[in-house]
Amino acid sequence: MLGLVNSVLRLSVGMVFTGVVVFLGVLALIPIIPWHERRIRLSNHLGTVLGSGIMWISGCTVTVRGQENFQEGRPVIFAGNHTSIFDAFTSIWLSPTGTVGVAKKQIIYYPFYGAAWLLAGHLTVDRGRTDKAKASMQRMGEIVRSKGLSLFMWPEGTRSRDGRLLPFKKGVVHLALQTGLPIVPMVTTGAHKAWKKATLLTLRSVPIDITFLPEIDTSDWTEDRIEEHVEALRDVFVAALPAEQKPKKSVELAAA
């Protein structure tokens, strides 16, 4: 019972904190609506405040490694595994200034967060429509090339229920082909134990580890090898994740 009360209290404080930061952020973003890049950069600063604050409120201990594998101001594509709603907060906290988020269009329906996402100028993809998704990728490529921005996305496209890595969508490879940017994997472990997808009020304060791996050069990637590139990128995550978060098939093969 005490654990449930503590969980509800943390969630309540977190929602209020999110609402306050988003409200103040909206006030700051409205005057600069005509300037997309300024909105992105301001939202990155707000994201640092919101993300770090939420993780502190959660009580989770977050250990971050490998930040030397990217440089502030040097555009890359950040790709992260997706196991918890907390991933939304760690990504906006740890992504450097000048990073555009890419998410499925359903993110706009998230309370507070979705409205701020759109106003800030971050991007959405309609995965249900291949033609629209490809057009979005091309438009994203043009934006980041012209503005010198980085991108962040979750290649799985949805959250894993048990923390195990899901199959990757092709979007991250299409982005790499459109931009020519290297990919920096952001591997998160332990977050799936903090706030499980199927629960609402059960929040656990657990250790979370986040590791940025060395960048993957994509300059020689080609469209006729998309499937190969997708699997090669996923293999990097499989190798870096603990057994409990590897796909079951990979665990079985390793044990054979």
* Domain of residue 71, CATH code: 3.40.1130
For the chain, what percent of residues have pLDDT higher than 70? 88
What's the total number of domains in the chain?
A: 1
Model's pTM, two decimal places? 0.89
Indicate the Cα dihedral angle 167, 170, 172, 178, nearest 10°.
Answer: 170
Indicate if the alpha-carbon torsion angle 214, 218, 221, 226 is positive or negative.
Answer: positive
Residue 246: predicted pLDDT:
95
Give how far the C-alpha of residue 163 lies from the chain's centroid of Cα atoms, to the nearest Å.
15
The length of the chain, given as a count of residues: 256
Average pLDDT score over residue span 181-206 = 85
* Residue burial 207-241, b: 16+ Cβ < 10 Å; e: rest: ebebbbbebbebeebeeeeeeebbeebbebbbebb
Average pLDDT score over residue span 116-122 = 83
Residue 178: predicted pLDDT:
86
Residue 255: predicted pLDDT:
46
Residue 8: predicted pLDDT:
85
More confident residue, 229 or 109: 229
d(CA 50, CA 176) in angstroms, rounded, equals 28
- Contact by Cβ (8 Å): 124, 108: yes
Write out the residue range of the structural domain in which residue 211 sits.
2-255
> In which band, very low, low, confident or very high, does the pLDDT at 103 lie, cut at 50, 70 and 90?
confident
Residue 125: predicted pLDDT:
76
* Per-position DSSP letters for the chain, written without gaps between them: -HHHHHHHHHHHHHHHHHHHHHHHHHHHHGGGTT-HHHHHHHHHHHHHHHHHHHHHHHT-EEEEE-GGGS-TTS--EEEE---STHHHHHHHHHSPSSEEEEEEGGGGGSTTHHHHHHHHT-EEE-TT-HHHHHHHHHHHHHHHHHHT-EEEE-TTSS--SSSPPPPPPSHHHHHHHHH---EEEEEEESGGGTS-TT-SS-----EEEEEEPPPB--TT--GGGHHHHHHHHHHHHHHHS-GGGS-HHHHHHHH-
